Amino acid sequence: MPEERILVVDDEEDILELVRFNLAKEGYQVICATTGEKAVEITRSELPDLVVLDLMLPGMAGLEVAKFLKNDADTQNIPIVMLTAKGEESDIVTGLELGADDYVTKPFSPRILVARVKAVLRRQVAKPPNGSEVVKIHNLFIHPGRREVRVDNKPVDLTFTEFGILSYLVRRPGWVFTRSQIVDAVRGADYFVTDRSVDVQIVGLRKKLGPGGKFIETVRGVGYRFKEY
């Protein structure tokens, strides 16, 4: 059974109880808060292993909470899963760029929320590969040092930018990255990369990867992720 402590922040009591019940059923220790100010106070004092954070909060909004926590040395490494309404795509993008790890849209399935929480905690524990280590995932083999990519053991010829984007995505499988995050990651290698050109690069990358291209998933209104499973 898990021993992690999770802070759930939502001003709607029924949603708060729904999330608390389902996480507690999985064995997590659950702390609750109904305001952004209280969420910051609890996070700084209790240092939970993860925060489930509603964006629409009275007083200090969820994005303000996320920004505060990610700018505080004591709390910046605590993962955040955002709860957001479906129409708040701009808030999702902002939250991810502030450092949130994932998001779930309302109305939501408790099972999906629990699965997302488990996945984020699992990624938090696992040591991610650094930029120099060989990556083997699904049917892909990526050797950063040799700038070599193989799909089903067949070599794939990628441009400098395509290789940079693929390497960035596969280092955090399951994580959602915005277009601007991808741009920032590869800009040092190619100054012509823009938010819009990322879409073009992804199209070309999927085509070259063939059967491996299906693992690059478009997250509508937000960006891209490399499928974990």
Q: Which of 68, 90, 125 is the last residue of a domain?
A: 125
Residues 77 and 145 in one domain: no
Which CATH number does the domain housing residue 80 bear? 3.40.50.2300
Distances (CA, A) of 189 to 97, 163, 176: 21, 10, 22
Could you read off the pLDDT of 181-200 as tens digits, one per residue? Answer: 888 777 654 445 666 788 98
When pLDDT is averaged across residues 164-177 and rounded to a whole number, the result is: 89
6 within 8 A of 51, measured Cβ to Cβ: yes
Question: Does residue 95 form part of some domain?
Answer: yes
- pTM to 2 decimals? 0.67
**203 lies in some domain:** yes
Residue finishing a domain among 125, 160, 181? 125
Write down the pLDDT at residue 192: 55
- Is 18 in the same domain as 53? yes
Q: pLDDT tens digit string along 3-35?
A: 799 999 999 999 999 999 999 999 999 999 999
If asked whether residues 179 and 139 sit together in one domain, one would say: yes
74/161 Cα distance (integer angstroms): 35
The answer to whether the CB of 216 falls within 8 A of the CB of 226 is yes
105 lies in the same domain as 201: no
Lowest-confidence pick of 91-95, 120-124, 172-176, 220-224: 120-124
Asked if residue 91 is part of any domain, the answer here is yes
pLDDT for 30 equals: 96
Q: How many domains does the chain have?
A: 2
% of residues, the chain, pLDDT over 70: 90
- Same domain for 60 and 159, yes or no, is no
Same domain, residue pair 108 and 199: no
Burial 157-185 (b: 16+ CB within 10 A, else e): ebeebbbbbbbbbbbbbbbbbbbbbbbeb
- What CATH number did the domain enclosing 164 receive? 1.10.10.10
pLDDT band at 222 (very low <50, low <70, confident <90, very high): confident
Q: What is the reported pLDDT for 191?
A: 47
Q: Residue 73 above 90 pLDDT?
A: no
Domain that includes residue 215, residue range? 135-226
Q: Is residue 76 part of a domain?
A: yes
User: What is the Cα–Cα distance from 82 to 52, expressed in whole angstroms?
Assistant: 6
Any domain includes 130: no
Q: Do residues 120 and 143 share a domain? A: no
Residue 194 is predicted with a pLDDT of: 65
18 and 74 in a single domain? The answer is: yes
Whole-number pLDDT of residue 131: 54
